[in-house]
Amino acid sequence: SQQGEEDPQALSIQEGENATMNCSYKTSINNLQWYRQNSGRGLVHLILIRSNEREKHSGRLRVTLDTSKKSSSLLITASRAADTASYFCATDARSNTGKLIFGQGTTLQVKP
């Protein structure tokens, strides 16, 4: 079964609003990563947060990690139409086998 579960499955907002996506996982992890996928393309890495970090920023992205709740959130501030994409979380298990397991993703639509 997949490691990550994402919520919501779909999100529609207006340009300029903030978008928040959540990811829950099952086992202890080394790190958690977020990726974006534009329609018909491969995934692109956005940000990585280590298990000993609680929050990380990259431009308009803010990621939080709560290892006690086994959950993470991705916040996109001041969204743009170009942010329309699917967003996935992925986890590296503490067993450190190298496997990266993905969640089911959140589809974000930003309306101009």
Tell me: does residue 41 bind other proteins (CB under 8 A): yes
CB neighbour list of residue 74: distance below 8 Å, 6 or more residues apart = 20, 21, 22, 23, 34, 46, 47, 61, 62, 63, 87, 89
Q: Please tell me whether residue 32 binds other proteins under the rule CB under 8 A.
A: no
2 binds other proteins (CB under 8 A): yes
Here the tokens at position 10 are: 């779909």
Of the listed pieces 13-21, 39-47, 57-65, 73-81, which binds other proteins according to CB under 8 A?
Answer: 39-47
Contact by Cβ (8 Å): 72, 48: no
Q: Rule CB under 8 A: is residue 85 a binding residue for other proteins?
A: no
Residue 57 binds other proteins, judged by CB under 8 A: no
Closest contact distance (angstroms) between CB of 111 and other proteins is: 23
